[in-house]
A and B are shown apart, each in its own frame.
Chain A
Amino acid sequence: MAPTPGLQIMQRSYLWQDGTVRSWLLTTDHKRIALLYMASITAFFVLGSFGAALIRLHLISPTGAILSDETYSRMFTMHGIVMVWLFLVPSIPVTLGNFLVPLMLGAKDLAFPRLNLISWYLFIMAGALVVYGLFRGGLETGWTFYTPLSTDYTQGRVLPVVAGVFLSGFSSIATGVNFIISIHQLRAPGLTWYRLPLMLWALYATSVIFVLATPVLSITLLLLAFEHFFHVGVFDPALGGDPLLFQHLFWFYSHPAVYIMILPGMGVVSEVVSTFCHKPVFGYRFVAWSSISIAAIGFLVWGHHMFVAGTSLYAAVVFSMLSFLVSVPSAIKVFNWLGTMHGGAIRLDAPMLYAMGFIGLFTVGGLTGLFLASLASDVHLTQTYFVVAHFHYIMVGGMVSAYFAGLHYWWPKITGRMYPEMWGRTAAALLFFGFNLTFFPQFILGYEGMPRRYATYPAQFQVLNVLSSAGASILALAYILPLIYFTWALFRGARATDNPWQATGLEWRISSPPPVENFITPPVVTHEAYDYAALDHPDAAPRAEAPHV
């Protein structure tokens, strides 16, 4: 695959070919858009983390240490909205996904490069609206906007924030459409569906959810605004509406949105585990189809957020059963990652440490999900800190670990520089320990009955809250470290080779950082995915049979 010397001179890295601000803001290059997104979501992540830091600091004292009840409520609302819609939902798809989908497909760009740029501008406008709402007073509704609290009983700036979330939905839909069509249409010759990297299967499943679920959120928010302006009774019982209808519609989007957040993380972990074990992913087809089945069953479990909300007994029983069912494909993935490690040649570089952190923390998050899918125990645990701990294990322990795994893993490809390995491993270990110290005590708090979203709490809960806040400070360090050493590595890191991890996949066959046009000569795929034998012995003839299922 190495280009001839003549071609090498013509290659220019996408990063430095034209450094003007204008060339960045008007770029249709998926790689540059990925970096625009990366900078934006990092800014939102810092904002959301700032909210979390204030919350944890406040909760050191049972009477509340630093904030008024009102500011506290606005802080956790801000934290939730910013983290969910401006960080977690876009995170891996728009950064690593944007960068990698065309490279993994062997394509020059996504199917609709301009739509890709528009999606970024929509996202920035959405972010601006949300930030405007938050800084011009904020709102105290929680990220869930439950009616009638969000319509009749708040003085906060609900409308600009809702408009922002509404716009961000269109950004998601644009990205989803782009990925689906690219994966269908732009696969290189020989790149069959079962030869796709598992990251692409995961992103494909994610994109399907983007396209099918997000419109429901848009409609719901539109109805909310409609009710506000025209007093049409939709959700407000005082106008003849039904507040539970809002919850149904909201969770019809927001539960699948959980899988929007976690599926790309699973894709990253599949890539990283395979590379750092130098072994094909165990049970490739099972892992691939488990992504699709998570996306499909994920649409049928929204009712488990409403077991105590006043829905019918029969609905609760059915939703409970489906919720157990949706966790089976996740369990399959975990077992297959362990199977991949078995018999491999394991290297414990930072991406692998993050990936193993993901597997462990995601398993805890998944298992505690069973406590909440079980009807009788959900009644006791829901709306308490148990739920807070549970979804942070999935969102932070799982998703953020996977995002960091992917960032470290593809950093040499994205920037052409290596990050400092020792610092990477240190940050991965800090994340794991800081995270557990922050959120494990919250499981116990939840069992003891401490409700979530409380600005003050009975003194008996203080010890565990202080532990949790102490963990949060370690967690903060684990976030700040990569910010520093990645910035340093961008200018001072060692030059990366084209394939520093001996990984398979088309993205590792081109230079680091990639040239503007990705592939000088269009690649032809002749091997299965994760065919390390072909990588290690490039002269040997391709094997006739598939090396794995």
Chain B
Amino acid sequence: MNWLPEASAHASRVDILLAGLLLISLAVLGLVFGLMMLNIIRFRVGSRVPVSAETVAHKSWRFEIGWTATTLAVFFALFVWAARLYVLGFQPPPGAIQIYVTGKQWMWKVQYPGGQREINALHVPLGRPVQLLLTSEDVIHDFSIPVLRIKHDVLPGRYQSLWFIATQAGAFRFYCTQFCGIGHSRMTGTLIVLTPTDYANWLGRTPASGSLATKGEALFIHNGCSGCHVSQPYAPDADDTSRAPSMVGLYGSEITGADGQHIRVDNAFLHDAILHIGPAHGQAAGYATRMPSYRGVLGEEDLAALIAYLQTLSPSRSSGMGVSAVSARKGN
């Protein structure tokens, strides 16, 4: 059996943490088993080792406070180490490639910004930040890539995000690790890390039915979004925002909700707003008409395309803005 590779800097850091935990565990285990054995040898009835008159009964509180304090100190140090790695390791850098991954009983559907799609395979370039936007069409799944030491549950009806920079080319397995029904163990796939040139070649080779944003633009018109939301080429009255907010420059901006809370418009926010109607987030104040819910009308793949299109309407804000916004809202 091959030892599990470390395919990112984060993976190496997690392995160092695991090694630290392992060392401490071995030390404690050695202490517990060692003391147990020593006690048996010295104090067993019929033992030939002479027992001296030492007893510790009366000062026992010193031992109690001693080992309680030591345990607390060691545990707290471990907590800080692991929590720091978790928090820092989940702050995504700007400019990541956004790839949409949709779980469905029992397969993973992957959509690239250029419109390429595949099933149960994920191609990424070496050394570039990649952000996965994960959602599910049915039950809860979990997207796990052991070589990168990351995983996240994939929930129906909302986006979760994972990001990484792969540092080792090759093919590695990814798994669904949240039990999702009888086909659970078949819901696996291959992560293929390619050098940037190979990646570009692969993108060029793979047939794409127009980019994700182009597909989203068609959906934007087809579903009547452009009737209310002003979007330069399709709205006759380009400055009429009385019925609904303009989509130009919206992505990545901060809006104020009804309760005065500042909300960053990111992928997860747009996803929720389209499915659960704007007012769920309290940002619809001032508009006469309510936006209908598109639940059941737009599938997850359509939503990914639509959001990719809305991003193109905020050209000054790179997709990297959306990355950090997702992390701030969803906490990873």
* CA–CA, A490 and B172, complex, Å: 57
Partner of B45, one of A280, A309, A347: A347
* CA–CA, A342 and B64, complex, Å: 15
Is A455 touching B184 in the complex (CB atoms < 8 A)?
Answer: yes
Is B25 touching A367 in the complex (CB atoms < 8 A)?
Answer: yes
* CA–CA, A448 and B15, complex, Å: 12
- How far is the CB of B261 from the nearest CB of chain A, in Å? 15
Contacts of B178 in A (CB 8 A): 146, 383
Partner of B32, one of A140, A152, A363: A363
Is B138 interfacial (CB 8 A cutoff)?
yes
Contacts of A310 in B (CB 8 A): 152-153, 155, 158, 160, 330-331
Is B51 touching A367 in the complex (CB atoms < 8 A)?
Answer: no
Partner of B44, one of A308, A338, A346: A346
Contacts of B257 in A (CB 8 A): none
Is A374 touching B81 in the complex (CB atoms < 8 A)?
Answer: yes
- How far is the CB of A198 from the nearest CB of chain B, in Å? 15
Is B83 touching A320 in the complex (CB atoms < 8 A)?
Answer: yes
Closest to A455 in B: B185
Contact flags A376-403 to B (C-beta < 8 A → 1, else 0): 1111101110000000000000000000
Contacts of B54 in A (CB 8 A): 343
Contacts of B75 in A (CB 8 A): 324-325, 327-328, 370
Contacts of B25 in A (CB 8 A): 364, 367-368, 370-371
Contacts of B181 in A (CB 8 A): 73, 140, 149, 153-154
Is A341 interfacial (CB 8 A cutoff)?
yes
Contacts of A114 in B (CB 8 A): none
Number of B residues whose C-beta is below 8 Å from A?
81
Partner of B152, one of A140, A283, A308: A308
Is B43 interfacial (CB 8 A cutoff)?
yes
Contacts of B184 in A (CB 8 A): 69, 73, 453-455
Is B89 interfacial (CB 8 A cutoff)?
yes
Is A496 interfacial (CB 8 A cutoff)?
no
Interface residues in A306-363 (C-beta closer than 8 Å to B) = 308-317, 320-321, 324-325, 327-328, 331-332, 334-336, 338-339, 341-348, 356, 359-360, 363
- How far is the CB of A404 from the nearest CB of chain B, in Å? 18
Partner of B39, one of A346, A368, A376: A346
* CA–CA, A384 and B175, complex, Å: 10
Is B86 touching A342 in the complex (CB atoms < 8 A)?
Answer: no
Is A425 interfacial (CB 8 A cutoff)?
no
Interface residues in A448-487 (C-beta closer than 8 Å to B) = 448-449, 451-458, 460-461, 463-464
Contact flags A284-308 to B (C-beta < 8 A → 1, else 0): 0010000000000000000000001
Is B32 touching A317 in the complex (CB atoms < 8 A)?
Answer: no
- How far is the CB of B183 from the nearest CB of chain A, in Å? 6
- 21 residue pairs bridging A and B, Cβ less than 8 Å apart: A69-B182, A69-B184, A70-B182, A149-B139, A149-B140, A152-B138, A308-B152, A309-B155, A310-B155, A324-B75, A328-B68, A338-B32, A338-B39, A374-B17, A376-B13, A380-B150, A383-B177, A449-B147, A449-B175, A454-B184, A458-B173
Which 8 A-B residue pairings sit nearest by Cβ, starting from the closest?
Answer: A449-B146, A374-B82, A375-B86, A313-B331, A454-B185, A383-B177, A376-B85, A341-B39
Contacts from A to B (Cβ < 8 Å)? 69-70, 73, 140-142, 146, 148-149, 152-154, 237-238, 243-244, 277, 280, 282-283, 286, 308-317, 320-321, 324-325, 327-328, 331-332, 334-336, 338-339, 341-348, 356, 359-360, 363-364, 367-368, 370-371, 373-380, 382-384, 447-449, 451-458, 460-461, 463-464, 547-549
Contacts from B to A (Cβ < 8 Å)? 1-2, 4, 13-14, 17-18, 21, 24-25, 28-29, 32-33, 35-36, 39-40, 43-45, 51, 54-57, 60-61, 63-64, 67-68, 71-72, 75-76, 78-79, 81-83, 85-87, 89-90, 105, 138-140, 142, 144, 146-147, 149-153, 155-158, 160, 173, 175-186, 295, 330-332
